[in-house]
C-alpha cells in the first residue's frame, strides 16, 4: 500500500510544481489540497502499521511520512 501512495504522492507533487509556473491560484490550491489529502492518507496508513509497536499522534506520523517521502524522492 505504501508504494501506491508514494507513487501517487510523487505524481501529484510533480503536477503541483508544474502548476506553480502556469496555473491559476485556484488550480494550484486544488492540486495542493489533493496533495495534502494523499499525505494524510499516507500518515494514516503509517499509523495503522505502527499501532502496537509505537505510540504516536497524527502530527508525528505526518512528519514520519514526510521523512519517508524525502528519502524516496528521485527528482
Cα–Cα distance, 25 to 29 (Å, whole number):
6
State the cell numbers at 58: 497524527
Q: Is 23 helix (H, G, I), strand (E, B) or coil?
A: coil
pLDDT at 1: 82
User: What percentage of the chain exceeds 70 in pLDDT?
Assistant: 99
pLDDT at 29: 96
pLDDT band at 75 (very low <50, low <70, confident <90, very high): low
**Average pLDDT across the chain, whole number:** 93
State the cell numbers at 21: 509556473
Q: Which residues have a Cβ under 8 Å from the Cβ of 27 and sit 6 or more positions away?
A: 19
pLDDT in tens, 18-38: 999 999 999 999 999 999 999
Residue 2 has pLDDT above 90, yes or no: no
Amino acid at each position: 500500500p505504501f508504494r501506491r501512495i508514494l507513487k501517487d504522492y510523487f505524481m501529484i507533487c510533480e503536477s503541483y510544481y508544474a502548476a506553480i509556473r502556469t496555473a491559476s491560484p485556484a488550480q494550484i490550491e486544488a492540486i495542493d489540497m489533493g496533495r495534502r489529502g494523499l499525505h494524510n492518507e499516507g500518515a494514516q496508513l503509517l499509523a495503522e502499521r505502527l499501532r502496537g509497536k509505537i505510540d504516536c499522534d497524527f502530527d508525528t506520523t505526518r512528519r514520519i511520512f514526510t521523512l519517508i517521502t524525502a528519502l524516496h524522492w528521485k527528482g
